[in-house]
Amino acid sequence: MATANLTSTVSSTITLDGRTYSLSKTTTVSNMTNVFQTRMTIGTSATDVLAFAAAAAAGTLTDLDYMMLVNHDTTNFCTITIKVTGGDTSFFKLTAGAVFLLFNRSLDVNTTGAAFAAFNNINEIEITFDTASGDIELLAAFG
pLDDT 10s digits, 26-45: 999 999 999 999 999 999 99
**One-letter identity of residue 102:** L
79-97: per-residue pLDDT in tens?
Answer: 999 999 877 899 999 999 9
pLDDT the model gives residue 56: 79
120-129: per-residue pLDDT in tens?
Answer: 999 999 999 9
Number of other residues whose CB lies within 10 A of the CB of residue 141: 21
Residue % of the chain over a pLDDT of 70: 100
In the predicted model, is pLDDT for residue 111 greater than 80? no
Residues 6+ apart with CB under 8 A from 117: 108, 110
Spell out the domains of the chain, with CATH numbers in brackets: 31-142 (2.60.120.770)
